[in-house]
Amino acid sequence: MDSFDQTKAYAAQEEGTAFFDDGREIELLNYMYRCPKIVNKIRGKPSQVLALIDEFARTRKYLMNVGEDKGRIITQLIAKKKPQVMVELGGYVGYSTILFADAVRKAGGTRYFTLERSPEFAAIIMALVDLAGLLDVVKVVIGASDESIMRLYSTGELRHIDLLFLDHYKPAYVTDLKLCEELGLITVGSVLAADNVVSPGNPPYLEYVRNNFKARREKSIQSGVSVEHYEERFPQRNVTMYEKKFPAQNPNFASIGNPDLVYESELIKSFEPTGVPHVLLILLSIVCLPITILIVSTSLVIITIFDLISTPKGRRGTKPNTTTKTILVTGVSMTKGLTIARLFHQNTPHRIIGADTEPIPFAFSPARFSRSLDGFYKLDSPLESGKAQPYVMSLLRVIGKEKVDLWISCSSVVSAMEDAEVARLAEQQFGPQFKAVQFGPEFIRLLHQKDRFIGHVQKLGMLTPETHRCESGQEVELDLLLSQISQQQEKESKYFILKSINLDDCSRTNMTTRLLPSGPASPDTRSYIASLNISHQNPYLLQEYIRGYEYCTHSLVVRGKVQCFVACLSSDMLMHYEAIASSDPLSKAMLEFTETVVEDAGKSFTGHLSFDFLVKGEDVGKELKLYPIECNPRIHTAVVLFQDTKDLVARYVGVLQGEGYEAEEILTPRPGRRGQCYYWIGHDLVTLFTLPLLSILFGHRSVNSGFEDTRTFFGHLLTWKDGTFQFWDPVPFLMLYHVYWPMLFLESLRKGKEWTRINVSTTKVFLRGK
Ligand SMILES: C[S@@+](CC[C@H](N)C(=O)[O-])C[C@H]1O[C@@H](n2cnc3c(N)ncnc32)[C@H](O)[C@@H]1O
């Protein structure tokens, strides 16, 4: 972001409410018209009218205008989105009206509505808009915003809003937005720009536009169509700001909004989890270090005493005998791998070897320090070298050197194909005594790629979202059109999203998705499609957008039989996992789907398998419809739900035993002492504790809403289970938060990169270059 030019600063904003409506607006009007020569010079020239308003605000009195800096962000948005119709809530003296209406006209737009409650201010807007020569596009609408919206809608003057700028009474942002949604003025493709949502803050607005479909649906069911008041969630000064001028600011219309609309949101100048400065996170790690040391040393002392007084159960020091096997677990830096290694350590006499890549020197894998491992190997990363060979070779070397009997592959998406190749090569090289929990290359090729997987599910005769593989922008447009023609009988119109087929999970997080309506592509849709550079080398999947909850599953398959299974609500961003009861019809339906895929694959199918589904019809009495959207033929973090299920190891050991040893009954997670909810404290500490606290401190959030998050944080701390911390094996936790992450943050600081997303459970950080 460019730095702010101090010479352009407005006069300081006066304390209290006396920074507007004290005669200064009329003073401004006189200032603008004080000299006929100046008036003639600036008439019809919006930029010069704005320059004179800026001059007044700099040299005379402060004005609560959007200003040059923030104004530029919106004019750039206008140039990009080219709205035909733009609406502004809160016009004041017309600064933003002139700036944006000029930009809209230049971008080919035809109408700019500015809604201003004060008749005096509205009169000033009219006078200045006239001076700027913009009366042909601008319509000044006097009255409370919701009444004006309703009137413009019912008279037919306003049918659709392409761009909505919210800059009026903060508690009315959500109620007005909902009204626009319900009236169909805001639809898919509409763009919202809201001022002051970060500072002084507008939590209800941010919450509303950022809620996913599920949260919006729940919220809309809870609040129904009652008139919502958000005043208590704002600092007093935001609520009373216009009190003198408009004593009552209650919403006049109860609106449910349109819960089916999901917004993409972007914060400019933010205090959000995404991109929290590395320094802050390093500081947090330092501040928490004494507490972690206290907890870890206490558990170490207790374990040592316990080990001394009890008959040693551990296998360290005991000589391996013929029944002791060597188990290799890859991906042990991630919670999923560590969970498997720990379960083996606690419940079998076998030797456990861990292996994983380490992104930079000194960012030691936390698993190196786990009591569960008898050895650790660093693998060459396929990401760093850009080649599969070094990774494959390093893994084969470990298998050979350690004479591994069973390899449990828990690696991540970046080595999906490589792991399958290692399994094939190792079976050839080390003979039938070597076994792997890893599907072979033929299965990975079928399931890993999104389009092949959907095709395969269709072949099995199961439901899928409408999906098209597209190798050019024209193909996308044609498919959107054909879809509309084929669905003319249906009441509901379909929306689509575009997913890159080549992108892996890491790149996917940086991808912005847009909802595309079926039918002829609008210029906006067309330019979005063009921006993706879809080609034969860069194919995309045009997939029907299913409005529903997203679920994921995890299963272990041995020789074509499902051995363990769990389903939960997708929680990629929240990092909270809670199992759905195996008796739940939804869980049963997902298991049935899994079994159909597994059965089709036959007896050579051994590995971890997980699916992502979107689900429609969960309401009582409706037909449940599962739409598989992706298959991940590898272990899922949801395996953490098996942390207290010791029978799981027997299912893995079954791989070493011959055919016929597979259990008939499918294992589901056994609830631990703290139930079946897992979280990662590092994630919650930042998102639910530190950031809300900082936001309150900087006045970005009201105390009430900030404390709501803090309460949730303590609730998790007391009743949920951390994915990494185990009392008998506490050092990986210490290393994760006080060595691994700080090293990674220091490295990204050195490289000048910002992070966009952190996954504490998989120890992955996604960076964006500056
Ligand atoms: C921050 S100022 C707008 C500044 C303006 N957008 C600009 O940048 O030049 C907020 C304006 O919203 C108006 N306002 C407050 N409550 C309103 C409501 N319910 N409906 C319409 N306007 C309202 C106030 O009178 C004030 O003029």
- Domain identity same for 694 and 633: no
Which ipTM was obtained for this model? 0.99
Any idea what the CATH number is for the domain that residue 335 is in? 3.40.50.20
Residue 188: Cβ-neighbour burial (10 angstroms; 0-12, 13-18, 19+): middle
CATH number for the domain harbouring residue 609: 3.30.470.20
Same domain, 216 and 291: no
Closest ligand 1 atom, CA of 249?
Answer: 19
- The percentage of residues in the chain with a pLDDT greater than 90, rounded to a whole number, is 52
| Residue 574 to residues 391, 638, 709, Cα–Cα distance (Å) | 31, 13, 13
Cα–Cα dist 109/137, whole Å: 8
Within a domain: 31: no
Q: What is the mean pLDDT of the chain?
A: 85
User: Which tokens belong to 173?
Assistant: 């942002």
Which of 160-164, 182-186, 420-424, 753-757 has the lowest average pLDDT? Answer: 753-757
Neighbour-count burial of 507, counting CB atoms closer than 10 A to its CB (0-12 exposed, 13-18 middle, 19+ buried): exposed
- The tally of CA atoms less than 13 A away on the side-chain side of residue 630 is 18
Q: 3-state DSSP call for residue 605? A: coil
Report the candidate in 17, 67, 252 with the shortest Cα–Cα distance to residue 143. 252
Residues 169, 249 contacting (CB under 8 angstroms): yes
Are 78 and 194 within one domain?
Answer: yes
Share of the chain above pLDDT 70, in %: 82
Mean pLDDT of 41-51: 93
Quick: pLDDT tens for 191-200.
999 887 655 5
Q: Cα 592 from chain centroid?
A: 29
What is the rounded CA–CA span in Å between residue 70 and residue 57? 16
d(C-alpha 689, C-alpha 703), whole Å: 13
Which of 167, 176, 234 to mutate to test ligand 1, by most ligand atoms within 8 A of the CB atom? 167
Q: Find the CATH number of the domain harbouring 487.
A: 3.30.1490
Q: What is the pLDDT of residues 547-594, one digit of tens each?
A: 677 899 999 999 999 999 999 988 666 688 888 889 988 999 999 999
Ligand 1 atom nearest 93 alpha carbon: 9
CA distance 307 to 755: 42
Whether 203 and 105 map to the same domain: the answer is yes
**∠ CA 75-79-82, rounded to 5°:** 120
Decide: 142 and 122 in contact? Cβ < 8 Å: yes
Task: Tell whether 27 is covered by a domain.
Answer: no
Report CA(182)–ligand 1 centroid distance (Å): 23
Residues 637 and 669 in one domain: yes
Average pLDDT over residues 97-122: 96
Mean pLDDT of 610-624: 79
Closest residue by Cα to atom 27, ligand 1, is 92
- Residue that is last in its domain, among 623, 647, 678: 678
Q: Are residues 556 and 519 in the same domain?
A: no
Q: Is residue 425 part of a domain?
A: yes
Is 401 contained in some domain?
A: yes
In a domain, 388, yes or no: yes
Site to probe by mutation for ligand 1, drawn from 120, 242, 244 as the one with most ligand atoms within 8 Å of Cβ, is: 242
Query: Residue 126 is part of a domain; what is its CATH number?
Result: 3.40.50.150
Gyration radius of the chain over CA positions: 30
Residues 6+ apart with CB under 8 A from 72: none
The structural domain count of the chain equals: 5
Range of the domain at 158: 69-240
- Give a yes or no: residue 47 inside a domain: no
Quick one: 692 and 674 in the same domain?
no
- Which whole-number Å values give the CA distances from 382 to 357, 361, 364, in the listed order? 9, 16, 18
Q: Is the residue at 457 inside a domain? A: no
* C-alpha 116 – ligand 1 centre gap (Å): 6
At 248 the pLDDT is: 75
How many secondary structure helices (H) and strands (E) does the chain include?
28, 23
pLDDT at 362: 87
Same domain, 667 and 587: yes
106 and 196 share one domain: yes
The answer on 171 and 96 residing in a single domain is: yes
Ligand 1 site residues (CB inside 6 A) read 64-66, 89-92, 95-96, 115-118, 121, 144-145, 167-169, 172, 242, 249
Are both 123 and 110 inside the same structural domain?
yes
Q: Which of 17, 53, 116 to mutate to test the pocket of ligand 1 (most atoms within 8 A of CB)?
A: 116
Confidence of residue 269 (pLDDT cuts 50, 70, 90): very low
Element (H, E) at 542: strand 540-544
**pTM across the whole model:** 0.67
pLDDT digits 0-9 by tens, 279-333:
889 999 999 999 999 999 999 999 999 888 876 554 444 545 557 999 999 999 9
Residue 365 inside a domain? The answer is yes
Contact (CB, 8 A) for 649 and 545: no
Same domain, yes or no: 285 and 336: no
Cα–Cα distance between 382 and 392 in angstroms, integer?
8
Question: Closest by alpha carbon to 139, among 109, 112, 99, 110?
Answer: 112
